[in-house]
Amino acid sequence: MRVLLVEDEPDLSAIVASGLRAAGFFVDTADDWPAADELLHVNAYDCVVLDRLVPHGDTRHELQQRRRAGWSVPVLFLTALHTVDERITGFEHGADDYLVKPFAMAELVMRVRSLARRAQERLPVFLRCADLELDLARREVRRAGVLLSLTRKELAVLHRLLISSEQVVTKGELFRHGWDESADPSSNVVEAVVAGLRRKLGGPQLVHTVWGEGFRLSASPMAGR
C-alpha cells in the first residue's frame, strides 16, 4: 500500500514516515501543496495523510477542488486544529478521517490502514493466472496450491502484473506501484525484484520480459519477445 504524507514540519514528517514504513507502507512525502499536487498527478496512492495548514495555506480547499473533480483517494487530515467546528469543516471539504496532534503513532497506522483498505476494496481481492493465485485480503500467494513466501516488493510487483495479466506493464509502472520517492528510478531495483519473483514462482515461467517495453504476466510461452 502506498501513502502520500503532506507535512511541513521536517521532524514530524520524518517520524510519521518512518512509523508508516515500519508498518509496511510505501511512503512519499511533500512539505507543501504544490509538491503534493505534483506527486498526485504522477503516482497512484491508497491513502493521503494531509496536514491542514501548510506554507501555502489550508489544504482543505485544494482537497475540495479535487473531490469536485471526482478524485476518490481516501484522505486523513492530520492537524492541530481540534475544535468540533474545524473537524466538521474538514469532513465537509472531503476528508475521510481526522486525527488531532499530538497523536499516537499506533492509532495513525491503524487509521491509515483502514482507509487504504477501502481504496483496495475497489480492486479484485482474488487474482489468478494459470495455477498462480493471489489472495490480496490474506496477502497469500500460491503456485499449484503451494504457499510461497514473497517479500513486500515482490508481492507489490506481482499484484501489479496480475491486475494487468496478459498486458505489458512498463518498468516505470512497476516502480511507481512498489517503491516510494526515496528510491532511484534509474537503478535496476525493478529488474532485481522481478528476477527474485521468477525464482520463487518456479516453472513454467509466467513473468516474461517484453524487450524495450516492460514485463507481462502470461501462461503463454510466447508472451515475451
Q: What is the pLDDT of residue 9?
A: 92
158 shares a domain with 101:
no
Nearest 5 degrees, angle CA 1-CA 94-CA 59? Answer: 85
Dihedral of alpha carbons 70, 139, 110, 55, sign: negative
Nearest Cα residue to 39 out of 68, 13, 2: 2
Contact 99, 82 (CB under 8 A): no
pLDDT (tens digit, 9 = 90+) per residue, 107-116? 999 999 988 8
pTM over 0.85: no
Q: Is residue 225 part of a domain?
A: no
Shared domain for 107 and 33, answered yes or no, is: yes
64 or 126: which carries more pLDDT confidence? 64
Residue 218 has pLDDT above 70, yes or no: yes
**What's the CA gap between 133 and 93, in Å, rounded?**
40
CATH number, domain with residue 146: 1.10.10.10
Q: What is the pLDDT of residue 201?
A: 93
Domain end call among 89, 120, 151: 120
Do residues 185 and 112 share a domain?
no
Which CATH number do you get for residue 50? 3.40.50.2300
Higher local confidence (pLDDT), 79 or 20: 20
The answer to whether 20 and 3 are in contact (CB under 8 A) is yes
What count of Cα atoms within 13 Å lies in the side-chain half-sphere of residue 5? 26
| Grid cell for residue 163 | 491486475
Cell digits of residue 215: 514485463
114 and 59, same structural domain? yes
- pLDDT tens track for 155-172: 888 988 888 888 888 888
SS3 149: coil
Containing domain of residue 85, as a range? 2-120
Q: 153 and 74: one domain?
A: no
Angle of helix 60-68 relative to helix 33-42, nearest 10 degrees, comes to 30
d(CA 206, CA 148): 15
The whole-number average pLDDT for the span 42-48 is 84
Listed in sequence order, the residues at least 6 apart from 178 whose beta carbon sits closer than 8 Å to its beta carbon are 26, 153, 156, 157, 160, 190, 193
Chain position carrying cell 491513502: 47
Residue 12's pLDDT band, with cuts at 50, 70 and 90, is: very high
Is 222 a domain residue? no
Q: Is residue 159 part of a domain?
A: yes
Cα→Cα distances 148→26, 56, 60, 141, 198, Å: 22, 47, 43, 6, 12
Pair (18, 71) in one structural domain = yes
